[in-house]
Amino acid sequence: MRVAVDAMGGDNAPVVEVEGAVAAAKEFGVPVTLVGDTDRVRQELAKYDCTGLDILVHHSTEVVGMHDSASDAVRKKKDSSIRVAFELVKQGAADAVVSAGNSGATMAAGMFVLKRLKGIERPAIAQIFPTLQGRTLVLDIGGNVDCKPVHLVQFAIMGEVYARHVMGVDKPRIGLLSNGEEESKGNELTRETHAILKETPVCYAGYIEGRDIFNGVVDVVVCDGFVGNVVLKLSEGLAEAVGKMLRSEIQQSFLSKVGYLLSRKAFNNFKKKVDYAEYGGAPLLGIDGVGMICHGGSNTKAIKNAVRFAHEYALKRVNQRMAEKLAESLPDYMQQRQAVKEQAAG
Amino acid sequence: MRVAVDAMGGDNAPVVEVEGAVAAAKEFGVPVTLVGDTDRVRQELAKYDCTGLDILVHHSTEVVGMHDSASDAVRKKKDSSIRVAFELVKQGAADAVVSAGNSGATMAAGMFVLKRLKGIERPAIAQIFPTLQGRTLVLDIGGNVDCKPVHLVQFAIMGEVYARHVMGVDKPRIGLLSNGEEESKGNELTRETHAILKETPVCYAGYIEGRDIFNGVVDVVVCDGFVGNVVLKLSEGLAEAVGKMLRSEIQQSFLSKVGYLLSRKAFNNFKKKVDYAEYGGAPLLGIDGVGMICHGGSNTKAIKNAVRFAHEYALKRVNQRMAEKLAESLPDYMQQRQAVKEQAAG
């Protein structure tokens, strides 16, 4: 299984992309293809000893910028590194894509080139959050702002399969994010989703609240992309604000500063525990292939781990398992959908 | 202006309620009526020197528990302290209500007894969040899970008037919580709300993201009650989880523990800065009267500050200003609504 790395996407491309890809090849033995400007990429590669590593370079002439619109980027920049990376998967020359570029464009390119997985109406982006117990996968944090219940049910199934096979959770518990745990809570969307999930062959734990994301009562948290985006940005913003406020208080007195220096190891351990780079990237679930979306400001470690998990994702045939689980879980729904399709086809 | 305090509501009732009310009467000169079991309340009152303080006690025989349903509590327990407190306002014997009891019941009792403010379809609960710049008011964090754009617009106007007159913000900036700052972002609800707010005479700053709640770019954050609840609980949960993780890291080494002891003052200052008790409670906006909802586990300081802000809220005639601002802001909408009403009436 080979991972195509969009070498031109991130804020520090191709420096961290090349270093991260080399590290993944070295530490985890992952075969890698770096996609981008060959000269720039080779220049970076020359910095490392790549003896015995399976690293290819594939040329592309264009780059999708962070401010390019997702669809324009895909349609207009046909030779962009991100689009070419997905084309390699389509042609069978690679099995997964990792990009730290424009995430909307990555999702659009994945959808456009590889199409959706059988049984999925809306691909989703999932993000791993650190919790008191370990890790929780939250989806969708992507662009699905107005969802129907069946979309959330599909997210739940995709999240279940990913947590089981890539994150190594034995029997993933699924929670539906709501405004309270009681059945009487929720909005129109969650109430209907709740009813379907109770009938679905996953370990469904019912409604969870915002606080439960971090105490780790479930392994997978399902919500629409609007709420998921608020959850993601709020968490980042709150963590940052708490850090800033605390730092400013610590700066106020000499004693506090000394105290901070003494406990710095604890702070660093804590930072490591909540470091997004440990998880590498956010899997793009529901396309007929493997995509891993990294933060634009990703460091080498994040790229390395993203390549590692993308490789796992491809290796464990997660998409095939998702398609099977979907077919098993939503047979009535699938039949209805098939009937509508056939009717439409004439 | 007199504040009726539900003396029986909170987890530590009537101990903290009585102490908090006495403190508010003493420190801020607020006339107070304690509503609840007279014997219990007088027993608590006897602990303090109340000479010269305007404190009344009003008897009620029932208590709404935390597990009572909101509507049952109001209809079945007609002599409950929370319902009686609102009845005092209706009769003109008090001007505001503070309760640390069942928040759903408090909202329901306020609605049932005092009805809605003219121009408001859905009362909302607003919560003050500490930010890097100061404070931000977020609403709705209450039970309005499926909102129409006009509800969010009404929340914006109520929040604007509250921030201006009770929080003392000169020209409150209003933000609409969304999944990105660009106009192309948002869901169906926010897109329509965004269009109306642009035409509304408030200082509308457009879409804000989850991270912006804590960096204080706006003074009022508007969202539906489902999203608002997720925001509130997530913030509480994340702050708690970060504290626990950090504590556990600090416990790991002797040096870290010593360091923590030395910088404890900074930690305490930080805690004070983000202490909910400083703001007392969450105003219930949009009923024809004043209600302040406190956390069930409120301490004396929280009750004291809630009484103080409830008093301000009543004193500054905030509801009248809200009704005026609503009439000024949504004239077309108000006219349409009136027309529909008249048509329905015959």
Q: State the ipTM, two decimals.
A: 0.87
With an 8 Å Cβ cutoff, are A214 and B241 in contact?
yes
pTM (2 d.p.): 0.89
Contact check, Cβ <8 Å, B177/A230: yes
- For all residues of chain B together, what is the average pLDDT? 90
Q: Measured between CB atoms, which of B145, B190, B273 is closest to A179?
A: B145
Q: Is B272 on the interface with A (CB under 8 A)?
A: no
Instruction: State the Cα torsion B137-B138-B144-B145 to the nearest 10°.
Output: 180
**What pLDDT score was predicted for residue B268?**
75
CA distance A13 to A100: 9
Position A336 scores a pLDDT of 66
From chain B residues 274-313, the ones with a CB under 8 A of any chain A CB are 274
Say if the Cβ atoms of B235 and A188 lie within 8 Å: no
* pLDDT higher than threshold 70 for residue B305: yes
Q: Is B336 on the interface with A (CB under 8 A)?
A: no
Across the interface, whether the CB atoms of A266 and B259 are under 8 A apart is answered yes
> Backbone dihedral region of B64: left (phi > 0), alpha (psi from -120 to 50 degrees) or beta?
beta
Closest CA to B298 of B56, B60, B11: B11
Query: Quick one: average pLDDT of B68-85?
Result: 89
Across B308-318, average pLDDT = 95
Confidence band for B251, pLDDT divided at 50, 70 and 90: confident
Where does A204-253 have alpha helices with state H? Answer: 212-215, 225-250
With beta carbons under 8 A apart, name residues in chain A contacting B186. Answer: 145, 226
**Beta carbons of B132 and A242 less than 8 Å apart:** no
Predicted local distance difference test score (pLDDT) of residue A338: 62
**Each residue of A280-313: pLDDT tens digit?**
889 999 999 999 999 888 999 999 999 999 999 9
Nearest to A164 by CA among A211, A219, A201: A219
How far is B261 from chain A, CA to nearest CA, in Å? 7
Question: Any idea which residue has 């047979």 for tokens?
Answer: A331
Among A131, A224, A245, A260, the residue to mutate for chain B (most B Cβ within 10 A): A245
Query: Which range (A28-32, A272-276, A293-297, B48-52) has the least confidence?
Result: A272-276
Distance CA A57, CA A37 (A): 9
Alpha carbons within 13 angstroms on the beta-carbon side of residue A234 total 31
Q: What pLDDT is recorded for position B346?
A: 65
The tokens 């707010």 sit on which residue? B197
CA atoms within 13 A on the CB side of B170: 0
Determine which of A124-133, A146-155, B106-115 has the lowest per-residue pLDDT on average: A124-133
The residues with which A203 forms a beta bridge, in sequence order, are A173
Q: Which of B178, B253, B261 sits opposite A265 (nearest CB)?
A: B253
Per-residue confidence at B241, pLDDT binned at 50, 70, 90? confident
Least trusted range by pLDDT, from A96-105, B135-144, B228-237, B242-251: B242-251
Vertex A177, ends A117 and A242: CA angle to 5°?
Answer: 110
A331: nearest Cα among A172, A199, A142, A236: A199
Task: Annotate B212-248 with b (16+ C-beta within 10 A) or e (fewer).
Answer: bbbbbbbbbbbbbbbbbbbbbbbbbbbbebbeebbee
Cis peptide before A275 (omega within 30 of 0): no
Is the pLDDT reported for residue A69 higher than 70?
Answer: yes
**Cβ neighbours of residue B81 under 8 Å, at least 6 residues apart?**
B6, B7, B8, B9, B35, B36, B60, B62, B63, B64, B99, B101
Q: Which chain B residues touch A241 with a CB distance below 8 Å?
A: 131-132, 214-215
**Tens of pLDDT along B136-169?**
999 999 879 999 999 999 999 999 999 999 999 9
Interface of A with B in 227-246 (CB under 8 A): 227, 229-242, 244-246
